[in-house]
Amino acid sequence: MKLRGIISMLFSAVIAVSACPDVPAKAEAESKEKLIALTFDDGPNTHTTPKVLDLLEEYDARASFFLIGRNINDDSAEVMKRAHEMGCEIDNHSRTHSDMSVMSAEEIKAEVAYVDEYVYSVTGEYPKFFRAPYLNISQTMYDTIDIPFITGFSSGDSNADKTAQERAETVISSAKDGAIILMHDFYGNDKTVEALKTILPELKSQGYEFVTLSELFERKGETPVRNFSYSEVQKHICSDYAFSGNLFTGEVTGDNKWDGWKTAILLNDSGLGGIESDFTIEVSYDSIAPPIIVLHRWKSSDDNLWEAVRPVYYNGKKACFRKSDMQAVLDSYGMTYDDMNYIMVRTNWTEMTITQVDLFVKEEKTFLTGDVNLDGKFNIADAVTLQKWLLREPESELKCWQNGDVCTDSVLDVFDLCAMKKELIKQAE
């Protein structure tokens, strides 16, 4: 009976998930879906924004609109309401579009709160994301604003001289699964409207699905982290691999001018060339930009190789590198890992602290339903862990989300927790 009581309390607590304003994390299986999030800054207005909405509606597309508070009035609020009813997302771009990186905490709060409350009064929902004016961000802003920050790949459409065709080409060339595209629907920006007439059908023909930011995070199984501004959202690929070994533990801090990276985090002796299975390398770091892995071979000024491998996944805390991306560099030069003088993990351009580098190898996994802790058994501890993860408690972690997918629908949610509860009750009887 005591176990029943614990599980009942657990179930009651997790129901609160549906009331949380944060973006929920949902883990899902590998997918060939191509998702892209179109975002528009500096609205709303009754001239450009409705034209953008007309095109989105024509191509069955959803987008996210980052509003400036001073642009919201009785007329433009109706446009905002239409966007919301279409399934688009209404987000926060400050009240006055001033440089908030030089503001005090109180000034920042006022800028954000004005938009939050106005949007809520029209749509019944608070904005879920924030984009900084001019993309200028300070630590005070990170500490004060409690919703995730978004940057995105720029279309360059704030440049009045850039033609509609050039804008379209920039967006189409930037498109990739998980990308966030930054455009503007400010009053009179008709060239972007024209560009959309090319962008939407072209990307749709390439198999892209246009989603809101919330949906992008959900379907990638990613919970937004603090102190980071997203330009893309990718699935944490290391979760599909098994931990194989630690390659570095410590604390190294430096910028791109520091020569110590050559000796601080070297992977030359890690045996990467002898691993036949697929693998990923996960780096734990702290920086506004992701780390890189550099393959460096030096013989002379005429025979020098310096190639940077960029992570396929990063979120301001973790970055994952694929074996295939490293191998592609080596293959392009007809070389092997043994030919390299340095295989080093380092920053690309800004100061960075790296604390750990781990190797994960692809292998066949055996799943024990419910055992999200990977301790070889399914018990109340697994249900508690899943509850904390669903409620997004700090430091909560699932060692194997697949084991928690009790409903076998490739999504972790309250229904899996309910199924866990039923199974635990059955075991206790």
* Residue 299: CB atoms within 10 Å: 10
**Cβ atoms within 10 Å, residue 357:** 24
Kindly name the residue from 41, 42, 116, 358 that is annotated as catalytic: 41
| Residue 156 per-residue DSSP state | -
Task: Write down the catalytic residue from 91, 184, 236, 405.
Answer: 184
Name the one residue in this structure whose structure tokens are 């961000």: 137
The token duo for 244 is 């194989």
Contact 61, 79 (CB under 8 A): no
267 residue type, one letter: L
Q: Is 47 a catalytic residue?
A: no
In 3D, which of 119, 129, 113 has the Cα closest to residue 72?
A: 119
Q: Tell me the C-alpha distance between 336 and 190, whole Å.
A: 52
* Contact (Cβ atoms closer than 8 angstroms) between residue 346 and residue 260: no
Residue 236 annotated to the active site = no
Is residue 340 helix, strand or coil? coil
Q: CA 96, CA 101: separation in Å to the nearest integer?
A: 13
Radius of gyration of the chain measured on its C-alpha atoms: 24
Could you tell me if 175 and 181 are in contact, meaning their C-beta atoms sit under 8 angstroms apart?
A: yes
Q: Which residues contact 338 (CB under 8 A, 6 or more apart)?
A: 273
Of the candidates 164, 144, 178, the one whose C-alpha atom is nearest the C-alpha of residue 55 is: 164
Q: How do strand 352-361 and strand 242-254 relate by DSSP bridges?
A: antiparallel
CA nearest neighbour of 28 among 239, 211, 197: 239
CA–CA gap between residue 45 and residue 378 (Å, rounded): 55
- Alpha carbon distance, N-terminus to C-terminus of the chain: 9
Provide the pairing of β-strand 179-184 with 279-286: unpaired
Q: Which residues belong to the active site?
A: 41, 184
